Chain A
Amino acid sequence: MRRLLFLLPLIVLAALAALFIFGLNPSRDPKAIDSPLIGKPVAAFTAPALAGDQPGIADSDLLTGAYKGQVVAINFFASWCVPCRAEHPLLKQLSAESGIPVIGIAWKDKKDATQAFLGELGNPYARIGTDENGRIGIVGFGITGVPETFIIDKQGIIRQRVPGPLSDDLIESQLLPLIKDLQK
Chain B
Amino acid sequence: MIGRGRSLLWAAFAVAALLAMSGPSFAVKPDEMLSDPALEARAQAISKDIRCVVCQTENIDESDADIAHDLRVIVREQLKAGATDDQVRQFLVARYGDFVLLKPPFKAKTFLIWTGPFLLLFAAGAGVFLYYRRTAATRHEAVPLNAAEEARLQRFLKDHDADNVAGTGDPS
Contact = CB atoms under 8 A, between A and B. Distances in A.
- Chain B CB within 10 A, most for which of A34, A35, A36, A37: A36
A27 interface: no
Given A31-B56, A144-B54, A144-B67, A139 B97 contact: no
A144 B63 CA distance: 14
A138 interface: yes
A108 B65 CA distance: 14
A31 B54 CA distance: 9
A31 B53 CA distance: 10
A33 B53 CA distance: 9
- Chain A CB within 10 A, most for which of B74, B95, B99: B95
B4 to A, nearest CB: 52
- Contact residue range for chain B? 10 to 19
A144 B60 CA distance: 13
Contact of A138 (B74, B97, B99): B74
B56 A138 contact: no
Interface in A118-153: 134-135, 138-139, 141-142, 144-145
B96 A142 contact: yes
Chain A interface, >50% SS class:
loop
Interface in A145-181: 145
Chain B interface, >50% SS class:
helix
B70 A138 contact: yes
B94 interface: yes
Contacts of B96: 33, 35-36, 142, 144
Interface in B19-63: 53-54, 56
Nearest to B91: A139
Interface string A18-53: 000000000000010111110000000000000000
Contacts of A36: 93-97
B71 interface: yes
B74 A33 contact: no
Interface of A: 31, 33-37, 108, 134-135, 138-139, 141-142, 144-145
Interface of B: 53-54, 56, 66-67, 70-71, 74, 93-97, 99
8 contacts: A33-B53, A37-B95, A108-B66, A138-B70, A139-B95, A142-B95, A144-B54, A144-B67
